[in-house]
Every structure is written in structure tokens, then in C-alpha cells.
Amino acid sequence: MEERFKIIIIEHEENVRQGLVSVFEHHHFDVEATDNIAVGYEKARSGDFDLVLIDARAAGLNALEICAGIRCQHPGQVIFMLTADSCNQGLMTLGADDYSSVPFAYTDLVQRAKALLRRTRLQNKTGLTETIKIGEVTIDTANASGQCPQGKIAFTQREVRLLQYLCEQRGKTVEAHELLNQIWGYPRYLNTEIRAVEIHVASLIHKIEADVENPQYIQQVGEGACRIAF
């Protein structure tokens, strides 16, 4: 029997919202949808959903505050964001698990969502227990938190999984599509944007490196590829 996932969609454009509802229901998701940001936010914070899908383009929507509010209640909540922002730097602080540019292919979005949720469930079963030390930063993977001389650092669970995998491949250059497969669970045949990798790696650099312009430990190599050395 196929797994069923529960999703809430916060989408201000009626035609897009209806399209998303139709395609996710067709693929056996249990769907709730709203164009009301406040209502959607309160529902998302309940923890009743496997996936929260947010259109960050909506007027009056502060994606950073919404992601932070949801993560505060449920650190492991899977968040997928639709955005017209082509600047990865602008998306880096939002804290979503993945991002899709608008316009997008509905069926591709569903396949990515399914793969992401399945990988997340698998990862949650294994858990994280180790401590990672990089330079002056010590990361407690179980609690997705870090400590440095300047104070505490909050990580997302996706960032911790990514960091752990890079540490396992220490010294090697890891391609973006390998990371999408291993951390996000996306099959290699999916035509998936690599920006989620770029955004998460950039976020790790800003949280761990003393000099983000000249990173010592986490290095971006080419388009989406990276390596870690310490």
C-alpha cells in the first residue's frame, strides 16, 4: 500500500493553489490548502502535517519568520518553498528544506516532495548522535545546535545531515546531484534544481567559517559541488 502523506499548502494565487491541490490529491496526499497566511501559519505550527508548502511570493508573508516559528515548535518539520527569487543569498536564511522557482512543473514538484518525505522518514529512524568539531565550532547533531566562542548556533536538521555526509566524505569533492540523492533522497533521473544544495552549503559556511569570503573548512567547488577539509 502506497504511503500517504499529509500536506498543507499556503498559496495566495487561486489557480496555482487549485493546481497544487489537484496534483497532490491525484498522487494520494491528504491535502489542506489556504490563501490566508495567518490561518496557514497556525495550522503549520500544529505539527499535524508531513509537509508544509509555502509560496514565499505572497504579499505580507515574511518567509523567514514563518519558517522560524514552525521550526521553533517542530524542528524536524519538512518545509518546501516556492519562490521567484533567483538570488540564493537572499534565500539562505529562510531555513526551508528545498526551494522551487516559479514557474514549475507540478508533477516534478510532487516527485520531489515524495522523495524528500521518504528520505526524511528514513533519516528520522536512524537518528543522529555524534558530535562534530570544525575549527572553533562544536556541533551537537542530536539537537541540531552548535557552540562557538561567540555563542550558540542553531542549525536545521537538513544542514546537520549535509554536514555529517560531507564529513564522511572528508577531502573529497562531492557533486550537487550526489548530495541531492543522499541527503534529500531525490532520484538521479529527476531534473532537480541544485539551488537547495547551494543554499544549504552557503548557510553552513556562514554559520561555521570565521571568514566567509575565504572559507577554511567548507569550500564550494564549481557548480553546486563542495568539499570539506579539517
At 94-151, the pLDDT tens digits run 788 998 888 888 989 999 999 999 999 888 877 676 899 999 999 999 889 999 999 9
Please give the Cα distance from 115 to 186 (Å, whole number): 5
What confidence category does residue 93 fall into, taking pLDDT thresholds of 50, 70 and 90?
Answer: low
Tell me which fold the domain 127-228 belongs to. Answer: Arc Repressor Mutant, subunit A (1.10.10)
pLDDT for 86 equals 59
pLDDT for 223 equals 82
**Mean pLDDT for the stretch of residues 68-82:** 90
Residue 219 β-bridge partners: 227
Q: Which residue has the cell 541540531?
A: 144
Higher pLDDT, 203 or 223: 203
First vs last C-alpha separation in the chain:
45
Q: Which three cell numbers stand for residue 184?
A: 534529500
Cα 44–46–48 angle (5° rounding)? 85
Percentage of the chain beyond pLDDT 90 is: 63
pLDDT for 206 equals 94
**Mean pLDDT for the stretch of residues 1-12:** 88
Give Cα 74 to chain centroid, integer Å.
Answer: 14
Average model confidence (pLDDT) across the chain: 89
At 33-63, the pLDDT tens digits run 999 999 999 999 999 999 999 998 887 778 8
Neighbours of 168 (CB within 10 A): 11
How do the domains of the chain map onto residue ranges?
Answer: 6-125, 127-228
Class of domain 6-125 as given by CATH:
alpha beta
Maximum CA extent, the chain = 51
Neighbours of 18 (CB within 10 A): 12
195-208 and 157-168 are packed helices; what angle lies between their axes, rounded to 10 degrees? 90
Cα 91–121–200 angle (5° rounding)? 20
Instruction: Give the Å distances, CA to CA, from 29 to 32, 50, 176, 221.
Output: 10, 10, 28, 38
Cβ 165 vs Cβ 182: under 8 Å = yes
Q: Could you please report the per-residue DSSP string of 31-92?
A: EEEES-HHHHHHHHTTT--SEEEEETTSTT--HHHHHHHHHHH-TT-EEEEEE----HHHHT
Please give the Cα distance from 134 to 154 (Å, whole number): 15
What confidence category does residue 87 fall into, taking pLDDT thresholds of 50, 70 and 90?
Answer: low
Judge if pTM exceeds 0.95. no
